[in-house]
Amino acid sequence: MTGRVLLLALLFSCSTSTEVAEPVDVAASESAGGETANVPQVAAFEPAPEGVERYRVPLDGAPLKGDGTLVTVVVFSDFQCPFCSRIVPTLDRLLETYPSELRIAFRHYPLPFHRDAEPAAVAALEVQQQLGD
């Protein structure tokens, strides 16, 4: 796979940095009469330093959504986790915005404290095997 792999896990690492680049003028919509808005732009990420190990997550057998190959988002999720389900609208929006660049792979990650999560994952794998993606 030549695309980049982006891993989404249940726990997110959040930066407390509020550093932003200089504000830029962005043209407002035509309905606003062509006025400009002063919108701050978030600073770009630095490239990974040399020697950083990249992990290739195996996708064989994972259900895939989207046709893109530039970026693959691998979602590790639990069917009973209410927080896991909150990412679905965001993923759908990303697929709408980047249809030719993005694809999403699903990996089961049943949490041990969700009583029915593992049986649900096993059932989903069986359905996928019988019916496909």
pLDDT digits (tens, 9 = 90+) for 22-73: 444 444 444 455 555 565 565 566 777 888 877 788 888 889 999 888 889 9
Query: Is 72 part of a structural domain of the chain?
Result: yes
Q: How many domains does the chain divide into?
A: 1
Q: What is the pTM of this model?
A: 0.58
Q: Please report, for residues 29, 36, 77, 85, 102, the alpha-carbon distance to residue 33 in angstroms, rounded to integers and kept in the order given.
A: 7, 9, 45, 40, 35
How much is the pLDDT for 58?
A: 86
The answer to whether residue 45 sits within a structural domain is no
Tens digit of pLDDT for each residue in 90-116? Answer: 999 999 999 999 999 999 988 899 999
Residue 127 lies in a domain: yes
Tell me whether residue 15 is in a domain. no
Q: Residues 6 or more apart from 22 whose CB is under 8 A from it?
A: 41
Q: What is the DSSP string of 16-45?
A: ----B---EEEEPPGGGTT-EEEE--BPPP
Q: Judge whether 116 lies within some domain.
A: yes
Q: What is the CATH number of the domain that holds 118?
A: 3.40.30.10
